[in-house]
């Protein structure tokens, strides 16, 4: 399998499942067997993941990526053995960092949910092919990643403005919007991947979808208040006309 197919979600899932470390092996840079240069994608992903690990207070040395050819059997053995020794020295996941299992699980679950959002906000850097090693050291600055994780965007549908047109619900790629005809729409925050599709799809004349940065969304409108009352022509008549 191409190293470029090792997704950020896979690495975080391994840690969620209790793995003490993750080792990724790929072809040498600029020597891609499939001319897709997926090894650059893997490198960028690993660098971002190490910053995320720092954010949740996991030792980033628990993730390692090495590049070698199929003929580098000795190099592979040395790299894996060295990584194994490093993991033994660090100890079980979380214990070496002084994190309780429940707290670590909660932190990993929280950042794992943000993978689509992180891939969206960092897509240009994740697609980078830099020429010098020094450039990679600053590709994902710790302060920038911390800011992105701190100022996570949330999307909320204003019940006072929603016209139940169903455009955002149809456009949502993960079906995170609950709505229907004459029903005020609600974003399921557990399903939402924060892609912004609903924000872009909402007609400008309604402007019902709100973009909130760094704060949780307001609680959803109660179910019994979600029926949208449409004005009829008869209701629009003035009392004198009646």
34 and 145 together in one domain: yes
30 and 103 together in one domain: yes
pTM, two decimal places = 0.82
Cβ-based neighbour number of residue 24 at 10 Å:
19
27 touches 69 (CB < 8 A)? yes
141 and 174 together in one domain: no
CA distance 174 to 192: 7
Range name among 50-59, 72-81, 110-119, 225-234 with the lowest pLDDT average: 225-234
Is residue 239 a part of any domain in this protein? no
Q: Tell me the pLDDT band of 237, cut-offs 50, 70 and 90.
A: very low
62 and 137 together in one domain: yes
Q: Is the pLDDT of residue 125 over 90?
A: yes
pLDDT in tens, 53-107: 999 999 999 999 999 988 899 999 999 999 999 999 999 999 999 999 999 999 9
| pLDDT of res. 199 | 96
223 touches 180 (CB < 8 A)? no
Q: Is the pLDDT of residue 238 over 50?
A: no
33 and 49 together in one domain: yes
| pLDDT of res. 241 | 39
In sequence order, the β-bridge partners of residue 210 are: 156
| pLDDT of res. 88 | 96
Q: Is the pLDDT of residue 8 over 90?
A: yes
Cβ-based neighbour number of residue 90 at 10 Å:
17
| pLDDT of res. 135 | 85
109 and 167 together in one domain: no
Q: Is the pLDDT of residue 203 over 90?
A: yes
Range name among 58-72, 123-137, 156-170, 199-213 with the lowest pLDDT average: 123-137
CA distance 152 to 216: 9
> What domain range includes position 23?
3-150
Task: Identify the CATH number of the domain in which residue 172 sits.
Answer: 3.30.70.20
Q: How many domains does the structure of the chain reveal?
A: 2
> DSSP readout, 52-109?
HHHHTT--GGGEEEEE--TT-HHHHHHHHHHHHHHHHHH-STTTTTT--HHHHHHHHH
135 and 170 together in one domain: no
Is residue 117 a part of any domain in this protein? yes
């Amino acid at each position: 399998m191409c190293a470029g197919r090792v997704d950020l979600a896979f690495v975080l899932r391994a840690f969620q499942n209790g793995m003490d470390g993750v080792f990724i092996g790929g072809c040498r840079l600029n020597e891609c067997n499939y001319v897709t240069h997926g090894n650059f994608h893997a490198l960028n992903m690993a660098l971002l993941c190490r910053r995320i690990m720092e954010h949740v207070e996991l030792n980033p040395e628990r993730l390692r990526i090495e590049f070698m050819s199929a003929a580098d059997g000795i190099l592979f053995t040395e790299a894996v053995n060295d990584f194994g020794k490093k993991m033994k020295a660090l100890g079980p996941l979380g214990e070496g960092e002084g994190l309780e299992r429940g707290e670590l699980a909660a932190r990993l679950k929280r950042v794992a949910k943000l993978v689509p959002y992180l891939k969206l906000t960092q897509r240009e850097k994740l697609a980078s092919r830099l020429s010098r090693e020094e450039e990679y050291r600053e590709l994902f600055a710790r302060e920038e990643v911390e800011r992105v994780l701190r100022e996570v965007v949330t999307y909320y549908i204003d019940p006072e403005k929603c016209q139940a047109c169903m455009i955002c619900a149809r456009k949502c790629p993960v079906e995170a919007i609950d709505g229907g005809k004459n029903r005020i729409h609600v974003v399921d925050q557990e399903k939402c991947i924060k892609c912004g599709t609903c924000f872009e799809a909402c007609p400008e004349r309604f402007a019902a979808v709100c973009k909130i940065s760094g704060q949780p969304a307001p609680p959803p409108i109660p179910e019994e208040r979600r029926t949208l009352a449409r004005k009829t022509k008869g209701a629009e008549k003035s009392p004198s006309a009646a």
